[in-house]
Amino acid sequence: MSSDQPFITDESQVVTETRDARITGQGDRFNSRLREAFGSSPFILTKFDKFLNWCRGSSMFMLQFGIACCSIEMMHTYAVKHDLDRFGSGVPRASPRQADVMIVPGTIVSKFAPRMKRVYDQMPEPKFVVGMGSCTISGGPFQEGYNVIKGAEEVIPIDIHVPGCPPRPEALVYGVVKLQERVANGEAAPVTVKPYELEEFSDLERDELVDKLTDQIDDDELVMRYNFADSP
Amino acid sequence: MSLERPDTVDDGGVERTPDELEALLGDLVVDRDDHLNAPAFVIRPDTVQETLRTLKEQAGYDHLSVVSAQEYENRYESIYHLKKYDDPTQEVSIVVPADKDNPVSESAEPVFRTADWHEREAYDLIGIEYDDHPDMRRILLPETWQGHPLSMDYDKDRPQIATLPEHANPLEDHHKDAESDTMFLNIGPHHPATHGVLHLKTVLDGEQVADVEPDIGYLHRSEEQMAQSGTYRHQIMPYPDRWDYISAGLLNEWAYARAAEDLADIEVPEYAQVIRTMGAEMCRIAAHMLALATFALDINGDFTATFMYAINDRERVQNLLEDLTGQRLMFNYFRLGGVVWDLPEPREEFFSKTRDFLDQLPESVEEYHNLITSNEVFQMRTIDTGILPPEVAKNYGATGPVARGSGVDYDLRRDDPYGYYDELDWDVVTEDGCDNFSRLLVRMREVEESAKIIEQCVDLLEDWPEDERNIQANVPRTLRPDDDTEIYRAVEGAKGELGIYIRADGTDKPARFKIRSPCFSNLQTLPEMANGEYIPDVIAALGSLDVVLGEVDR
């Protein structure tokens, strides 16, 4: 069929002017069942936000971000058998600047928290976070550890928590699909104030510890201060 | 023996009695403080190098497994656990007490290169300082950390500050001239090729690597503290699964089980040992499959066919392990004195599933050989890159596939037998290439050896009389090993010699629990392999080391 002929399906031989208007001017390769299903109307009517959220939720780019044990199950979720890509969210991006979902798969410790915050900050808005496993909820089995941050939510906001140690791939798939559903519906997680911020050393409140470290750390160096006594 | 050889007698193979060793060391020995696994000699803190050199050069103790440090009420103590690569059952421990108020002790780094990181860790966590050490800095915790967390007066509620510094080029000044200039390159801690949260501070001179320094500690989850605050019987066993989390859970659990069973004198029933052996080898296959998958990922880039194929085979083993243990990844299946439950019913179904897996395995391995090892591009990237000569490997305490890829014939399953390994027919795999390719080949061939072991175990289990299926020895509800007993025991994990040092203090919890992680020592060899090579070879070398950061940092 050449491109100047109108597109006619078997079940609807009727050719109307609106249908002509919609269908002419496009190559055959653009035909699809979806296009047929829209019938004679060349337009769809929806709210802009709703349409955009539907696009966002249907195509999520994950950050390729492995921390600890959970990242092994996360790899299985991306790979054969569980294949997260089936749901339109399985393409891991190596750069945070190309990603809009971050799965936090593991224990956050003192040395890593500032780096994770930095990676999170590098992602473009709007961005979403799935916390995978008990460690990102509370520190999990390592909660008592001297070096462990009691949950990823002490550092960055989290939209979906997937519990388990580690969660099975099925659980992670469920969590991600739930997130997609929420994004498509335009629901956002409440923004909470985070206890641990990345700030310049000179902005810290002065106390014994800060005084002690003044000659080790430059004033404009970024630091994160942990108040372990206040942690849950 | 060549004629130029100096007078020192190198009789590495000869076993010496503890008294002969004491005579060899002579005045260096201040006291004896024997451990359950080995004779231990107490020496003065300023004679560490002399003692270790004597033992290394004249008695053949060429493997420094681990340095475990601890604090007592009245002193600090570093213990150097020495072994022989030729026969790891010959062990000796050197105990170095240090002053309580001013804990300084001589560094062993000039004798054993591997002591570098081990002593830095001891400084970081315990607070002992080592004289003559080339680089006495913290290794696991941030540089600005206050206090030493495993020392006695540490307050874990005090606030801490971690920095996010801009990294400086360490070679910038003395390397800059009109012709060449160096460039600093950060790899990690968030990077797909670092297999987790490893940070490589790399300095490039043109395309070549001038200096690479692994910066670790981004996953230091206080594993030793967690183990020290758990009771022997049940509370420690879940944690080993999380050291080497690449599905090597049962291998790690065995490390703890072996140390604790020897410490508390528990005899494991034979039937349980066969189940353990079978489960552990399944874990080894799963771990090596992931090593293969990620190595292919590093070399070929992105989520390619090899990655998917290897993950597919891993899923098959994981299904078997899930049938056996009830979990996909964190098995918690071993108990002191046995395993938690018997094989799943119906047993025939489990056996036939296992056999199906073993039957299709040779075909898969053949497929990997077609896909990667016979691929020319892959060979160009891996053959003759990342060279690790056997002597260097030994000096760094490398073990496992890394050592065996350099021709060091060292496998604890055969050399220091445990479980049911010595009753079965299998071979230790070694390759002489010393390069990235050899290390990969060792892993692939080990998968086949593991399959042989599993097959024999299945045969044994199938014919095991029903009334002799004893999965658990009688173990007291609460274990309280005698005060001041010390033991170091190791097993062959997926990555190498995984050892545990435990000191009991008469309570139901260990007073000191030290993990000797194979990856920690293996990762230390990276600069040896990478310096002077091109930047893609660093990635290949790191991939072939197959480190898992949970075990490096603990």
In tens, the pLDDT along B221-230 reads: 999 999 999 9
- B152 and B33: one domain? yes
For position B121, which CATH number holds?
3.30.460.80
- Alpha-carbon gap, residue A1 to B403, rounded angstroms: 67
The CA-CA-CA angle for residues B504, B413, B478, to 5°, reads: 25
- B421 and B288: one domain? yes
Residue positions counted in chain B: 554
Non-local CB neighbours of B543 within 8 Å, separated by 6+ positions: B193, B195, B294, B295, B297, B298, B299, B436
Which pLDDT score is estimated for B118? Answer: 92
What values do phi and psi take at B492, rounded to 5?
A: -90, 100
Burial bucket for residue B162 (CB in 10 Å: 0-12, 13-18, 19+): buried
What values do phi and psi take at B203, rounded to 5?
A: -115, 125
Q: Do A112 and B197 touch (CB under 8 A)?
A: yes
In chain A, which residues have their Cβ closer than 8 Å to the Cβ of B219?
67-68, 106-107, 109, 112
- B4 and B150: one domain? yes
In chain B, which residues have their Cβ closer than 8 Å to the Cβ of A223?
144, 161-164
Q: Is residue B116 part of a domain?
A: yes
Non-local CB neighbours of B61 within 8 Å, separated by 6+ positions: B55, B82, B83, B84, B90, B92
To the nearest whole angstrom, how far is the Cα of A189 from the nearest Cα of chain B?
Answer: 25
- B372 and B416: one domain? yes
Non-local CB neighbours of B79 within 8 Å, separated by 6+ positions: B40, B67, B68, B69, B70, B93, B94, B95, B96, B486, B501
Q: Which residue of A has its CA nearest to B290?
A: A72
Which pLDDT score is estimated for B7? Answer: 43
In chain A, which residues have their Cβ closer than 8 Å to the Cβ of B242?
68-69, 141
- B431 and B313: one domain? yes
Q: Is residue B525 part of a domain?
A: no
- B321 and B400: one domain? yes
To the nearest whole angstrom, how far is the Cα of B504 from the nearest Cα of chain A?
Answer: 21
Interface of A with B in 133-172 (CB under 8 A): 141-142, 144-148, 165-166, 168
Interface of A with B in 54-73 (CB under 8 A): 64-69, 71-73
CB B223 within 8 A of CB B519: no
Give A12's pLDDT tier (boundaries 50, 70, 90).
low
Instruction: Share the mean pLDDT of chain A.
Output: 82
Domains along chain A?
51-184 (3.40.50.12280), 198-230 (no CATH)
State CA B153 to chain mean position distance: 29
Assess whether pLDDT exceeds 70 at residue A17: no
The answer to whether A92 faces chain B, any CB pair under 8 Å, is yes
Q: How far apart are the first and last CA of chain B?
A: 43
Q: What is the ipTM of this complex?
A: 0.85
Domain ends where: B472, B506, B537?
B472
Chain A interface test: which of B146, B158, B187, B197 (most A C-beta within 10 Å): B197
CB B551 within 8 A of CB B522: no
- B442 and B465: one domain? yes
Q: Which domain holds residue B145?
A: 1-165
Over its C-alpha atoms, chain B yields an Rg (Å, rounded) of 23
- B260 and B275: one domain? no
Q: Which of B142, B197, B550 sits opposite A110 (nearest CB)?
A: B142
Q: Is residue B35 part of a domain?
A: yes
In tens, the pLDDT along A84-130 reads: 888 888 778 888 898 989 999 989 999 999 999 889 989 998 889 99
- Alpha-carbon gap, residue B272 to B348, rounded angstroms: 18
CB count within 10 Å of CB B285 equals 28
In tens, the pLDDT along A154-182 reads: 888 888 999 998 899 999 999 999 999 99
CB A228 within 8 A of CB B157: yes
* Domain count within chain B: 4
- Alpha-carbon gap, residue B345 to B491, rounded angstroms: 30
The answer to whether B464 faces chain A, any CB pair under 8 Å, is no
Which pLDDT score is estimated for B452? Answer: 92
To the nearest whole angstrom, how far is the Cα of B154 from the nearest Cα of chain A?
Answer: 10
The CA-CA-CA angle for residues A112, A117, A123, to 5°, reads: 130
Q: Do B141 and A110 touch (CB under 8 A)?
A: yes
- B421 and B381: one domain? yes
Q: Is residue B245 part of a domain?
A: yes
Residue for token pair 């213990």: B79
- B356 and B376: one domain? yes
Q: Is residue B505 part of a domain?
A: yes
Q: Is residue B528 part of a domain?
A: no
Interface of B with A in 361-420 (CB under 8 A): none
Q: Is residue B544 part of a domain?
A: no
Q: Is residue B170 part of a domain?
A: no
- B148 and B238: one domain? no
Instruction: Please identify every stretch of chain B with a pLDDT value under 70, giving residue numbers as ranges.
Output: 1-13, 168-180, 301-303
Which pLDDT score is estimated for B256? Answer: 92
Burial bucket for residue A49 (CB in 10 Å: 0-12, 13-18, 19+): exposed
- B277 and B382: one domain? yes
Q: Do A111 and B195 touch (CB under 8 A)?
A: no
